[in-house]
């Protein structure tokens, strides 16, 4: 068995890329492992470090240089392999100095150094894939780890990779609202939450205010909207709601999404894995609009479970316009019984124990020892 870390406690190294989709489930695992007496280190890049504020202060943050082939010119791309090699060498030295009991990767280019070093040092290692289609880095490592914990089921895995369905871990702030009583739509104030993620939110800013503005007066006069919009879109989205006489709070990022979600009668969202998990665990009706440019159309795969369960309505981006969205908003908010059923179906599809299931796998790997 791999020995304990420097203070006698077993040591978990979490490697995660710099997006909320990778960082939120990583944070959820860190919370459980700390509670079980483990020491936790987070390896991420500068983007990921921005999310590290949500992690416990007990988690040590190790920042690595980001290196992605997706951005930059020819020269910048030519340097990427050298930066990755340097990152791997640095990670090997760091892991030999402070040897982890287990290394878990959550995807994204910043996970390459830690997972490569774990492979070279034969440390117990696994990855967690949030989406129904493996990301590029997780696909690269899927056959080089003991197992792939899958947040979405089924997940498209390469031949030879071992998949285990754990669900997507949600943060403690979401678990605190798990199964919060749903107030069905009626003749009183109603709340809609619009969340778009860091990418591809512009179309929601274009279409959602127009769809809500066109709703019948009897419905519209009760509405209050929380709309997450990119900074460059915020002014025009705010103005659109104001013109329609709708009370709206527009911001690039809401720190209290779990509270807003629990108070909403309807959520309009992209189908990012973390958003889908949060919607399921809290249990709310949703209209999901998968991000068309997502790698391998993985957001459509993420949405599949909630749609099949009768908890969510899916509108492909190619079919999204104000009349189509408005019709689906009315379908939920003008039918309280159907809305309640959707909320219950979302809850039935949830995996609130996902972080615990993932933590159990980590401890099982630690017991098996070197890989």
Edge-first strand listing for the sheet containing 286-288: 247-251, 223-228, 190-195, 266-269, 286-288, 312-314
> 11-169+352-368: what fold?
Rossmann fold (3.40.50)
Contacts of 189 (CB under 8 A, 6+ apart): 222, 224
For residues 340-362, average pLDDT: 97
Please check whether the two domains, 11-169+352-368 and 175-348, share a CATH topology. yes
Quick check: 200 pLDDT over 90? no
Q: Give the pLDDT band of residue 87 (cuts 50, 70, 90).
A: confident
Q: Give the pLDDT band of residue 70 (cuts 50, 70, 90).
A: low
Task: Give this prediction's pTM.
Answer: 0.87
Q: Give the pLDDT band of residue 74 (cuts 50, 70, 90).
A: low
Quick check: 107 pLDDT over 90? yes
For residues 292-308, average pLDDT: 91
> 175-348: what fold?
Rossmann fold (3.40.50)
**What integer pLDDT is reported at residue 2 of this predicted model?**
46
Candidate from 23-37, 49-63, 230-244, 273-287 with smallest mean pLDDT: 49-63
Candidate from 3-7, 235-239, 241-245, 354-358 with smallest mean pLDDT: 3-7
For the stretch 206-217, pLDDT in tens is 999 999 999 999
Quick check: 270 pLDDT over 90? yes
Q: What percent of the chain has pLDDT over 90?
A: 76
Q: Where are the domains of the chain?
A: 11-169+352-368, 175-348
Question: What's the mean per-residue pLDDT of the chain?
Answer: 91
Vertex 229 angle, CA 223 and 232, to 5°: 135
Quick check: 317 pLDDT over 80? yes
Quick check: 54 pLDDT over 90? no
Question: What whole-number distance in Å separates Cα of residue 268 and Cα of residue 287?
Answer: 5
Question: What whole-number distance in Å separates Cα of residue 69 and Cα of residue 75?
Answer: 11
Which residue in 21, 36, 83 sits closest to 359, CA to CA?
Answer: 36
Quick check: 76 pLDDT over 80? no
């Amino acid at each position: 068995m791999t020995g304990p870390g420097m203070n006698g406690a077993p040591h978990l190294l979490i490697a995660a890329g710099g997006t909320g989709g990778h960082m939120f489930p990583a944070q959820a695992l860190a919370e459980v492992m700390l509670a079980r007496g483990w020491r936790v280190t987070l390896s991420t890049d500068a983007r990921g470090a921005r999310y590290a504020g949500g992690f416990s202060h007990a988690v040590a943050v190790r920042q690595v240089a980001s290196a992605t082939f997706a951005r930059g010119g020819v020269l910048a791309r030519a340097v990427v392999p050298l930066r990755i090699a340097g990152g791997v060498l640095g990670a090997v030295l760091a892991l030999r100095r402070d040897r982890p009991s287990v290394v878990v990767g959550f995807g994204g280019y910043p996970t390459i150094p830690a997972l490569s070093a774990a492979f070279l040092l034969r440390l117990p290692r696994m990855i967690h894939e949030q989406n129904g289609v493996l990301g590029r880095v997780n696909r690269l490592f899927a056959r080089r780890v003991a197992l792939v914990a899958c947040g979405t089921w089924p997940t498209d895995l390469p031949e030879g990779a071992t998949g285990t369905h754990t669900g997507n871990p949600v943060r403690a702030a979401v678990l605190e609202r798990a199964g919060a009583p749903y107030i069905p739509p009626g003749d009183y104030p109603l709340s809609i939450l619009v969340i778009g993620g860091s990418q591809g939110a512009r179309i929601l800013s274009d279409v959602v205010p127009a769809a809500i503005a066109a709703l019948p007066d009897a419905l519209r006069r009760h509405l209050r909207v929380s709309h997450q919009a990119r900074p460059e879109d915020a002014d025009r989205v705010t103005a659109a709601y104001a013109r329609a006489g709708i009370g709206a709070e527009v911001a690039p990022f809401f720190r209290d999404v779990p509270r807003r979600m629990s108070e909403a009668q309807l959520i309009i969202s992209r189908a990012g894995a973390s958003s889908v998990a949060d919607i399921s665990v809290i249990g709310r009706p949703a209209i999901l609009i998968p991000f068309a440019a997502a790698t391998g159309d993985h957001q459509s795969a993420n949405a599949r479970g909630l749609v099949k369960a009768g908890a969510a309505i899916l509108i492909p981006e190619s079919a999204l316009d104000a009349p189509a969205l408005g019709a689906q908003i009315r379908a939920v908010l003008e039918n309280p019984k159907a809305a309640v059923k959707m909320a219950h179906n979302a809850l039935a599809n949830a995996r609130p124990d996902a972080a615990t299931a993932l933590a159990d796998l980590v401890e099982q790997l630690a017991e098996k020892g070197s890989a």
